[in-house]
Amino acid sequence: MGGIYALTAIGLNLQYGLMRILNIGHGELVMLGAYITYSLYSRLGLDPMISLLISGPTIFLIGLSIHRILFRPLIQVSVSLEVLEVNSLLISFGLLFIIQNLALIIWGADMIGYTYLAYPIKFLGGVFPANRFIAFSVAILFSLGFYLFLRFSLAGKVVRAVMQDKIGSQFIGVKIFKVHSICFGLGVAMAGITGSLLSMIFEISPFMGLSYTVEGMIVIILGGLGNILGSLIGGLIIGVVESIGSYLTSPDLKMVISYSIFIAILLIRPKGILGR
């Protein structure tokens, strides 16, 4: 689960760190990704790994339009960051309602799923179900790849420049709205990929989104806002803590554990474990 959380959180973090948009609807795009993969698999028999190549770009485009229609006008008119943060929160609630209920109309409210690679494999002395192993590896691969991209490429440098100083980067010729919309698209595309990966392991339902948004938030708060490496590490930590925690107490308490961690971090270290 750690890798999955990390990937969701990086997507969410990209949106918040860069644009101060706290997108509550992020998990809905996880759900959408899962349903795209599910539909392609059950209707056309398309291998879920290949459908990543479809769900990712599709959701990237959806993300671009969401940003263009909903958030970009908001950034232009908001007088202060605080106003923008609260307004974007409300907008993304609207987004959540819309996407979730569209999914309910299209796919119905039932839990659905398919089986994919559900046999055990051995790796480094441990035994894992193959689908979990693959999902985890792909998630880590994407997370790490994205981190390295931000860290070392020129485009990554531009993104980090905008994160640090919006006005300054405008002065040196960065088109921030272009950076914003591409990053928003990339952020939600990661949510979509997460969803596709999840659908290989779990049953999916239109209501699954919110819990991943919450997990994502816990992770970005743990790892620090705007800190991509922090999200990667935070995701892994939360994954481990949750599985140990629910193993020691009871699986029903999983959500209680994550919310408690969340509230505790917010209160003790609002800057995150890697924060200064």
Partner 1 sequence: MLMVFIWTFISVALILLPLYGSVYTISFILSILMYIALTQSWNIFSGYTKYISIGTAAFFGIGGYTTAILGSKLPLPIVIMIATLVNFVLALPMGFITLRLRGPYFAILTFGLGELVGHIFLWWEMKITGTRGRMIMPVEQTTVYYSLLAIAATVFFTAYIVKVSRFGLALQSIGQDEEKAETLGVNTTFFKVTAFALTAALMGAVGAAITPRWTYLDPYIAFNPLLSFQPVIMAMIGGVGNLYGPMLGAAFIGILSEVLLIRFPYYYMIMLGMILIIVVHFIPGGLTGLIGKKTRPSPVQLPTPS
Write out the residues near partner 1 by the rule CB under 8 A. Answer: 22, 70, 73-74, 77-80, 82-83, 85-87, 89-91, 93-98, 100-102, 104-105, 210, 214, 217, 250, 252-253, 255-256, 259-260, 262-263, 266-267, 270
Minimum CB distance to partner 1, residue 176 (Å): 18
The least CB distance from residue 134 to partner 1, in Å, is: 31
Q: Which is nearer to partner 1, 197 or 219 (CB)?
A: 219
The residue (of 98 and 148) whose beta carbon lies closer to partner 1 is: 98
Least Å distance, CB 269 to partner 1, is: 12
- Report how far residue 228's alpha carbon sits from residue 213's, in angstroms, rounded to the nearest whole number: 16
Q: 55: buried, middle or exposed (CB in 10 Å: 19+, 13-18, 0-12)?
A: buried
Which C-beta is closer to partner 1: that of 38 or that of 262? 262
Contact yes or no for 169/162 (Cβ under 8 A): yes
Phi-psi sector, 20: left (phi>0), alpha (psi -120 to 50), beta:
left
Q: Residue 4 CB, nearest distance to partner 1 (Å)?
A: 20
Residue pair 81/20 in contact by the 8 Å Cβ criterion = yes
* Pick 247 or 259: Cβ nearer partner 1: 259
Pick the closest to residue 31 from 156, 163, 204, 160 (CA basis).
Answer: 204
